[in-house]
Amino acid sequence: MTTHPIHRVTAGAAALDGDLTVPGGATGLVLFAHGSGSSRYSPRNRMVASLMHERGLATLLADLLTSDEEVRDARTRDLRFDIGMLADRLIGLIDWAGGDPETRDLPIGLFGASTGAAAALVAAAARPDEVHAVVSRGGRADLAGPALVQVAAPTLMLVGERDVPVLELNEQARQAMTVTTQLTIIPGAGHLFEEEGALDTVAGEVGRWFTTYLAS
């Protein structure tokens, strides 16, 4: 397995930082679209990525905001809701992966959390031939808007049982989609899945979805 940081990946008009890990014999690549207040260093994201590696999937954890933008967003909270910008940058990462020697032959899945889930769905709609599966974890899938009906990739939505507002918004988004979708409720969990065992359950569901739909 090779693990190395990717620095200054050009994604649209931005230069982003990310970490790429490719297990030997990888069968797919999962791109992480972090939610508000998160980063590629998030323990939750790292834990899920580790499980992906055990299942033979490569991962790219990249921050969709630059360091200066993260400082601004912490103050204004505006950039995390700029779904168009976040999606454009994720599309840039998809295109980068399609040209990189280590990843260009791997089918791509997108894993989004919070507003990053909306960006993942918009990006999936824009790159239907490249994106083979999407997973949303506590995501605002509803913010993908008109792109929902254009998504061609099978989509899994994971929501905590106690995260009632997001659960309702995900159900509305799921009903608007025309592809294979599944809404899975994690018992006893809140928005961040901090309850004992909740994140393990999430990781298992994520791994199952991607290994099902990213088989080369």
- Mean pLDDT across the stretch 96-118? 94
Burial of residue 42 (CB within 10 Å: 0-12, 13-18, 19+) is middle
Among residues of the chain, what percentage have pLDDT more than 90? Answer: 69
Give the pLDDT confidence of 204-215 residue by residue, as tens digits: 999 999 999 997
Among residues of the chain, what percentage have pLDDT more than 70? Answer: 90
**Residue that the structure tokens 């260009």 belong to:** 104
Place 7 in a pLDDT band, splitting at 50, 70 and 90: low
Give the pLDDT confidence of 17-41 residue by residue, as tens digits: 889 999 999 999 999 987 655 567 6
* pLDDT of 8: 63
* pLDDT of 155: 98
Which residues, listed in sequence order, are joined to residue 31 by a DSSP beta bridge? 60, 110
Domain count for the chain, please give it.
1
* pLDDT of 81: 77
Rounded Cα distance between 41 and 18, Å, is 10
Place 16 in a pLDDT band, splitting at 50, 70 and 90: confident
Q: Which residue has the higher pLDDT, 13 or 125?
A: 125
Rounded Cα distance between 57 and 8, Å, is 23
Nearest to 92 by CA among 68, 108, 79, 72: 108
DSSP sequence for 19-30: EEEE-TT--EEE
Three-state SS at 212: helix
* pLDDT of 66: 73
Give the pLDDT confidence of 156-202 residue by residue, as tens digits: 999 999 999 999 999 999 999 999 999 999 999 998 898 999 989 99
Place 118 in a pLDDT band, splitting at 50, 70 and 90: very high
- Mean pLDDT across the stretch 47-70? 87
Instruction: Label residue 13 left, alpha or beta by phi (over 0 means left) and psi (-120 to 50 means alpha).
Output: alpha
Count CB neighbours of 14 within 10 A: 17
* pLDDT of 216: 53
Q: Contact at 8 Å (CB) between 193 and 167?
A: no
Q: Give the residue numbers spanning the domain of 121.
A: 2-213
* pLDDT of 57: 96
CA 31 to chain centre: 6
The average confidence (pLDDT) of the chain is 89
Place 109 in a pLDDT band, splitting at 50, 70 and 90: very high
Question: Which CATH number characterizes residue 23's domain?
Answer: 3.40.50.1820
Tokens found for residue 92: 């840039």
Strands 131-137 and 108-113, how do they pair?
parallel
